[in-house]
Chains A and B, each alone.
Chain A
Amino acid sequence: MDSRPPFATGEQRLRLLYRLPLSDGDNRILVVGSGADADSVFDPTVSQAKVDVIAPGNPLVASGFDVVALPGCLTRGGEAHSAPVPPERLLELAFSALRPGGLVVGHLDHLLSVHGLRRMRQGPFAIGTWFRCRGLVSGRKCREALVQAGFAELDCFYVEPRIEAPMALIPVHPQAATRHFLSAIRRTRGQYSALGFGLRMALARARLGGILQPHLLFWARRPC
């Protein structure tokens, strides 16, 4: 191609994921998490927006935000000095922080995936996190939780291959996801052994290709 720079690193593509659902007028942003979380999803040097940060357990001091971002905090265990916050509580907080028509965007571990189930082997703390977040274990559950929290116009995606360096967002819609996964596995045929290829194809055909995706990303709006 004649010109293609700048090249987006994995880190930049993560920020792009969070910019995708935003509109021009979305200038007041609340990030639920740490300062580092906020920097990972909104670049303060290029954004015109004002970004506030709140720790997951803290009470809201303001509302009327255009955007609330939940970068990874829904399925994260509690920090060393604080108790973990139930994900339902965080979604309620996001809802009340948003102006009508405002946008919630976030990513979380896909707990009903090979990656999520593997995490349970890390010990009782990980098992506790898994059960605390069981209302968000899959894309379908995530959609249900968002609806239950009052959100509308929602989209939920598998992040491929992982949130740290995303390359694609696959809708959790079974037919669309299956079509994508079958094509992606065929395209990367050379990366797998015959057994690995066969297993992946079988999973995808059984509409279970999503269990190989370690992260989910969603966005939704607070109804006007």
Chain B
Amino acid sequence: MLSDVLAIVVAEGWFDTTPPFEKTIYLSQGSAQCVLLSRNGEPECFIKFTNLMSLAAEAERMARSFECFPHQTPRFIGYASRPPLEVLATSAVTFCPVTGQMMLARRNRAAVCAGLERFFRCMRESQTANRAQHGWFAGMCEYFSGHAADSAAAIGLARLGDALDSLAPMAQHGDLVLNNLGLRSNAELVIFDWEDYGAVELPGLDLFTLENSIQRDLVPGRSHAAVPALDRRRLCEALGLPLQLYESLRLSYALTFRYLKRNYNAEVRDRLDDVIERLASVQGSAANPSG
């Protein structure tokens, strides 16, 4: 399979395999695998491939993300389909992974926050013109209708439904978590894994998922608590989203993220269900302090 993938890469002119190069292969628990092509350790080209599903939608999302966020996205190189093989290529980026621990250092935190602020401003500028687009919300309601007895889902969906008309649709990364962030040597933030880009257009979702991820990395099991590492006010301002509205939608964000992860394995789904449960209990006690 790998030699067929490399043959496509060569035929498309994405990478020259004549000089010696190295392959680092990343396996996933899903249907697609990745190979990083490097020369003397210098990463050059990142290839995603599969023979089990189409990568066309992801390629389209990656190309779009590179158009909208050229400074924060690996350069999209191309997509090719030679059934049953599907291959997509981006440039490889040299970066330092972002972790919750490193976010505690002021310098790193400043670099990440500056990058996020820029990302959110670009997101706001490239927001969808048509306010009537919220098709994903209908899909989400249908999905959670199977959980009719779940009061947390009902509360979160109702709150989201009420707020939706006042929110400008903004395509979200959809999986903005620490694992998908890196810092280049010039301290510029780089964001990976755009396969969910635009799947939902709910401003603030990316900020919530990142906060949740940082908190989980720092204090496992306390994802509802405040995250000291991010300047929420500044980031919400970049999004054009009132901080109070962002805070009031936390449960809805968690539900939306859970919806995006609906096809992931049970461990991921259970973890998000826990977050939803905690947020529901926190918001429930805030709404009913005497109880």
Which A residues are within 8 Å of any B CB, using their own CB? 1-9, 13, 16-17, 19-24, 155, 157, 166-171, 173-180, 183, 186-187, 189-190
Contacts and interface: CB of A to CB of B under 8 A. Distances in A.
A3 B260 CA distance: 9
Contacts of B261: 1
A166 B29 CA distance: 10
Given A1-B260, A5-B31, A175-B40, A157 B2 contact: no
A4 B24 CA distance: 22
Interface stretch (B68-76, B96-104, B118-126, B237-245): B96-104
Contact of B4 (A3, A24, A176): A24
Contacts of A9: 29
A168 B26 contact: yes
A17 B27 CA distance: 9
A169 B1 contact: no
Contacts of B4: 23-24
Contacts of A6: 31, 52
Nearest to B43: A179
A175 B40 CA distance: 6
The CB with the most chain A CB atoms within 10 A, among B28, B29, B96, is that of: B29
Contacts of B28: 8
B41 A176 contact: yes
Contact of A176 (B1, B22, B102, B199): B22
A174 to B, nearest CB: 8
A208 to B, nearest CB: 15
A133 B50 CA distance: 36
Contacts of A190: 99-101, 217
Nearest to A171: B22
Interface residues on B, range: 35 or more
Contacts of A19: 1
A21 B3 contact: yes
A8 B30 contact: yes
Contact of B24 (A3, A20, A171, A174): A171
A175 B43 CA distance: 11
A183 B263 contact: no
B53 interface: yes
A22 B96 contact: no
Contacts of B29: 7-9, 13
Nearest to A6: B31
B196 A1 contact: yes
25 contacts: A1-B30, A1-B261, A2-B57, A2-B263, A3-B53, A4-B263, A6-B52, A7-B29, A17-B27, A20-B2, A21-B1, A21-B2, A22-B1, A23-B3, A24-B4, A155-B23, A168-B27, A169-B27, A174-B41, A175-B40, A175-B41, A176-B22, A176-B40, A179-B38, A180-B24
B163 interface: no
Contacts of B186: none
A157 B22 CA distance: 10
Nearest to A23: B3
Contacts of B100: 190
B128 interface: no
Given A19-B1, A187-B97, A169 B31 contact: no
Contacts of A24: 4
Given A176-B41, A187-B99, A157 B25 contact: yes
A186 B24 CA distance: 18
B179 interface: yes
Given A1-B195, A1-B196, A189 B99 contact: yes
Interface in B1-55: 1-4, 22-31, 33, 38, 40-43, 52-53
